[in-house]
Every structure is written in structure tokens, then in C-alpha cells.
């Protein structure tokens, strides 16, 4: 019985060896170029590790498939690219402007690490789902991309480019934008459509919020300016960890080691090396230095999560901020306050590094940033007032975190002054109905009254006193009005429990 099985197996093997290898004539010329000779057997095809076909002429034409005599095993069949699926050692593949109608052979190319398909019509991404070794994928100028979400199965993928390709459903790319893929480049029409969608939503939300809030403005006194600090030269010492320290591989950001970005930022701006961008929807032309700063930020608060790299990065931000303060560079000061505040707003669950000196340096750097921020508020709010209201509002949220109200800043950032989602601690009812412009907030919430008496311009103990004042200084009347609901009270529609709005929001956003 065993002998029969062996004979049957050997017979099948011989049959496979003797089968004709069908191949497109143009593909054969590129295969011959990759091998340095005309392939004679299946084993020859399996030797190929790097294959690029189409898009450029063959620089050394070793065979004319339609005229020359070919090895016995080869059979010319126009449009047949299936032999690529038998190249078991293939690591890098490029197919450019070739008449490929069926890409199913790609499913067998499991060793591929880099794949580029350009100007080849419609590509079904379902054939890519099992290419687990793939790190770089480019689908360029394709007339259609089907089953795009299959790309999410490529857990090693680091770079994805879809430039020039047609994607009919914008929602298909949302999952890619929120994935762990380091670099995603989208077609221009998708970038424009997403940007238009965001702008439309923001405009509609602002319009509805203004209409709802009109006529219900609470009366508040004139804004009180922030007073400058009395800082000492050696106040709150912190440490910059060396760039060759093993700590950078221990404490990482959302996309890994952040050391390279900080090296760039600590150097000269006009000599910053080229880098790719992680903020995929931004379509604004930026310098290499600005891209490095953006990439650092994306690593430190991606999806408003806390990352251990923050403990090492914040002292560097403090040092950068000190330099920009000396240079009186208001824009970079503004950007650094926005960044530091966003980073600190994610630190809401009490995470701590194993080394106490790292945490102490991180905490002191935060306090140094707080001092510089207060002095910026005391002397440069006119610069901030020139910006669009959404930037002013985000700036206020960042300042809230820097001045010690991290949980509040975290909830303000996630709710975006557009919603008030709460969980009732009494009956555990989850209320997600209170959205600005779509729900009458006064039905379940009562605004906080304006605090009595004037703020002294210094005390940070009562956020309900100094934060509305900051909104007044920023001339964001609507933001101040919406803030009064955050500081107000809520009545649960299920059990009638009355509680502070922020208490209910903590149950929604911060419950572990």
C-alpha cells in the first residue's frame, strides 16, 4: 500500500514537471532579463526574487518570444501571467501598464515584501489578503480598487500608496486612515472629498450651535488678563535622555521609536532631512522640519491614546519651547503649546515608567511648559485671537491640560464641543443623545451660572473660574456658552438622578 502511494506521488510530480508553462510574451522578455537568460523549467522561474515588468523597455532583449525558438516547456499565451504565482522566492514585484485581466495569481505570492501595480485597470484586493510578509504596497493609477478593506489583513504593511487610483466609496478608506499602517498616501480626489466633508460638517455644526445658543447667552463680566509668572532660572530641573540610550526602544510611540524625529527637531530647521508624513489627510505643503514635528505629535497622541514615549519626549518639547520663547517665535510657541497640551491630555490613567527619575523629569518638564504657557497667555493672546475660532478652541483645550486639568481636557477634546455623552452612575443609563444642533440641551442639562466676583488672573485652583475667562480673552463667545453646559448639571431621563455633567462624562469617557 505504501509503495503504491509513493509511485502515485512520483507519477504526479513527473506529470507536473512535464506540463507546459504558459506565459505572456511580454512577461517572458522581462523574466529573461531578470534571470539573464531564457528560462527552461519551472525551477528557473522559482529562482527569481525581484521582477519588474512593464512601464519601461527591456534594456537587454534576450529573446523575441514570437520569433525565436523557445525551450520545449514554454508555451506563449497572450495575457497569461499565472506563472508569477509559481515564483516561490519572489520578494519584490512590479507590474506597470501590463494587460493583466486576472490577478488571482497574487494569492500564491506569499513571500512578497514589496508590490507595485500601476495603470493595470481594476485590481481586486481580495487576492492580497494573505500576503502576510508584505511591507510596501503601491496600487497606482488603477481604474478601480475592489475589496479595499482586505488590506487591513496585511499586519506587517508599513507603506501604502493609492495615488491616482479611483475609489468610488470614500468610506472604504476610513479604516485605512485609522489603521496602524505608518504611511498612507491617498488619491487626490479622496483627499479633497474628505477635506470638503470635514469642512462641511464643521460649518453645519457651528451654524446649528450658534442658532441654538442665540438668545441664551449668560451674562459675564469683562475678561481678566493672565498675569506673568515669577520664574526662577533653576526652577523644575529636567533631563534630556541621550539619543543612543536603550530607553528609546523601550518607551515607544504609536508607530515605534520617536528618536529620529527629535534628532531632526533639535537640529537646524533648514537642514532637516526628508521624511514622510503620518498625518494622512493634511494636504498642506510643509517643510521637512514641520513634517518631523507633525510625525512626532502623531506618535504621541494618535487616537487620543497615551504612549510611553511621552515620558522621554516632553523634556525635549520643553527645551524646544525655551528656545522658541527666546527667539520670540510666536507661531512655534503656539504649535508647541498645542502639542504639549494634546500630549498631556492623554495622560489620564496614572501610567508611570519603571524609573522614578524619568517620571520626575517628565513632571518637571510639564511644569516648565506650564510657566512658559502662562507667560504666553499674559503677553501674546492677540496673536492667537487672529486665528480661526476652531484653532482658538483647540488652543484653549491644550492650555486646560497644561494648567493641570488633564481629565477635563481629555473629555473636551473627545467631545469636541459638539456632544455631551454621559453614563448615569445610579442606573448606568448611557445617554448619547445630547449633540449640539440636534438636541435641545436645556431639556436635560442646566448651564452653570457665571462665577461671582472677578478672577485674580493668577489662581488656577478653580477651573470653572479661569477657563471661561480664557474663552472670553480668546473672544469665543459660543465656546464659553457651550462650556457652561460642561460645568452644569444633568438629569437622567431614566431614573431622574441629578448629577454634574462632568461626572456623567467621566463615566462615559474614563470608565476602565
Q: Which of 190, 221, 237 is the last residue of a domain?
A: 190
Residue 458 lies in a domain: no
Q: What's this model's pTM, rounded to 2 decimal places?
A: 0.64
Same domain, 138 and 284: no
Q: Is residue 275 part of a domain?
A: yes
pLDDT for res 303: 85
Segments forming the whole domain that contains residue 34? 2-190
Q: Cα(255)–Cα(276) distance, rounded to whole angstroms? A: 13
Same domain, 132 and 260: no
Cβ-proximal residues to 81 (8 Å cutoff; 6+ apart), any chain = 23, 24, 27, 95, 98, 100, 102, 105
134 and 253 co-located in one domain: no
Considering the domain architecture, whether residues 47 and 180 belong to the same structural domain is answered as yes
- Look at residue 225 in the predicted model and tell me its pLDDT: 94
Q: Say yes or no: 255 and 177 in one domain.
A: no
Q: Is residue 480 part of a domain?
A: no
Instruction: Give the CATH number for residue 21.
Output: 3.80.10.10
Q: Is residue 157 part of a domain?
A: yes
CA proximity to 223, closest of 480, 488, 482: 480
Residue 61 lies in a domain: yes
Residue where one domain finishes, among candidates 403, 424, 452: 403
Looking at the domain assignment, is residue 225 inside a domain?
A: no
> Do 30 and 119 share a domain, yes or no?
yes
Residue 118 and residue 17 in one domain: yes
303 plus 389 within the same structural domain = yes
Residues 162 and 263 in one domain: no
Question: Which residue numbers in the chain have pLDDT < 50?
Answer: 9-10, 13, 215-216, 281
User: Nearest-CA neighbor of 241 among 297, 319, 305, 352?
Assistant: 319
Place of cell 453614563: 423
Q: Is residue 472 part of a domain?
A: no
Residues 166 and 37 in one domain: yes
Residue 385's CB: how many other CB atoms inside 10 A?
13
Domain boundary among 403, 422, 443: 403
Half-sphere exposure of 359 (CA within 13 A, CB side): 8
DSSP tag of 94: E
Q: How far apart are CA 289 and CA 262, in angstroms?
A: 10
Q: What is the pLDDT of residue 407?
A: 97
Give the phi and the psi of residue 121 in degrees, each rounded to 5. Answer: 80, -140
The predicted pLDDT at position 216 comes to 46
In a domain, 452, yes or no: no
Q: How far apart are CA 342 and CA 330, in angstroms?
A: 18
| Same domain for 258 and 154 | no
Per-residue pLDDT, 306: 95
Q: How many domains does the chain have?
A: 2
Claim to verify: residue 251 and residue 355 sit in the same structural domain: yes
C-alpha dist (Å) from residue 260 to 25, 161, 164, 249, 257: 47, 23, 30, 12, 8
Amino acid at each position: 500500500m505504501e509503495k503504491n502511494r509513493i509511485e502515485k506521488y512520483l507519477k504526479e510530480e513527473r506529470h507536473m514537471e512535464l506540463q507546459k508553462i504558459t506565459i505572456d510574451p511580454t512577461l517572458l522578455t522581462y523574466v529573461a532579463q531578470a534571470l539573464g537568460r531564457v528560462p527552461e523549467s519551472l525551477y528557473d522561474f522559482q529562482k527569481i526574487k525581484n521582477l519588474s515588468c512593464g512601464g519601461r523597455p527591456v534594456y537587454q532583449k534576450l529573446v523575441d518570444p514570437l520569433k525565436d525558438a523557445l525551450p520545449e516547456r514554454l508555451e506563449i499565451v497572450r495575457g497569461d501571467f499565472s506563472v508569477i504565482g509559481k515564483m516561490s522566492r519572489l520578494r519584490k514585484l512590479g507590474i506597470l501598464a501590463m494587460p493583466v485581466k486576472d490577478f488571482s495569481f497574487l494569492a500564491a505570492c506569499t513571500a512578497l515584501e514589496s508590490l507595485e501595480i500601476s495603470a493595470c485597470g481594476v485590481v481586486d484586493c481580495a487576492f492580497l489578503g494573505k500576503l502576510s510578509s508584505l511591507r510596501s504596497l503601491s496600487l497606482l493609477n488603477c481604474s478601480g480598487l475592489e475589496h479595499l478593506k482586505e488590506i487591513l489583513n496585511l499586519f506587517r504593511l508599513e507603506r501604502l500608496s493609492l495615488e491616482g487610483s479611483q475609489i468610488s466609496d470614500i468610506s472604504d478608506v476610513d479604516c485605512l486612515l485609522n489603521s496602524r499602517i505608518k504611511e498612507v498616501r491617498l488619491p487626490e480626489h479622496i483627499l479633497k472629498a474628505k477635506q470638503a466633508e470635514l469642512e462641511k460638517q464643521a460649518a453645519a455644526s457651528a451654524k446649528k450651535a450658534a442658532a441654538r445658543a442665540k438668545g441664551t447667552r449668560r451674562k459675564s463680566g469683562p475678561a481678566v488678563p493672565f498675569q506673568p509668572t515669577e520664574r526662577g532660572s533653576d526652577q523644575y530641573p529636567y533631563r534630556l535622555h541621550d539619543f543612543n540610550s536603550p530607553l528609546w526602544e523601550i518607551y515607544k510611540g504609536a508607530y515605534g521609536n520617536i528618536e529620529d524625529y527629535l534628532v531632526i527637531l533639535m537640529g537646524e530647521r533648514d537642514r532637516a532631512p526628508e521624511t514622510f508624513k503620518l498625518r494622512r489627510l493634511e494636504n498642506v505643503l510643509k517643510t521637512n522640519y514641520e513634517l518631523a514635528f507633525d510625525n512626532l505629535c502623531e506618535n504621541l497622541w494618535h487616537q487620543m491614546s497615551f504612549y510611553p514615549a511621552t515620558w522621554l519626549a516632553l523634556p525635549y518639547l520643553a527645551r524646544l519651547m525655551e528656545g522658541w520663547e527666546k527667539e520670540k517665535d510666536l507661531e512655534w510657541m503656539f504649535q508647541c503649546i498645542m502639542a504639549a497640551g494634546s500630549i498631556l491630555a492623554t495622560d489620564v490613567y496614572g501610567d508611570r515608567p519603571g524609573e522614578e527619575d524619568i517620571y520626575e523629569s517628565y513632571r518637571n518638564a510639564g511644569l516648565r511648559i506650564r510657566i512658559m504657557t502662562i507667560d504666553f497667555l499674559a503677553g501674546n493672546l492677540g496673536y492667537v485671537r487672529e486665528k480661526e475660532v476652531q484653532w482658538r478652541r483647540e488652543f484653549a483645550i491644550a492650555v486646560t491640560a497644561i494648567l493641570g486639568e488633564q481629565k477635563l481636557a481629555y473629555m473636551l477634546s473627545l467631545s469636541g464641543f459638539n456632544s455631551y455623552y454621559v453614563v448615569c452612575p445610579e442606573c448606568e443609563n448611557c445617554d448619547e443623545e445630547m449633540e449640539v444642533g440636534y438636541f435641545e440641551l436645556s431639556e436635560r442639562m442646566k448651564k452653570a451660572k457665571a462665577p461671582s466676583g472677578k478672577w485674580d488672573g493668577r489662581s488656577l485652583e478653580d477651573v470653572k473660574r479661569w477657563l471661561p475667562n480664557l474663552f472670553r480673552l480668546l473672544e469665543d463667545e459660543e465656546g464659553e456658552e457651550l462650556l457652561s453646559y460642561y460645568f452644569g448639571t444633568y438629569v437622567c431621563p431614566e431614573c431622574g438622578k441629578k448629577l454634574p455633567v462632568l461626572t456623567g462624562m467621566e463615566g462615559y469617557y474614563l470608565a476602565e
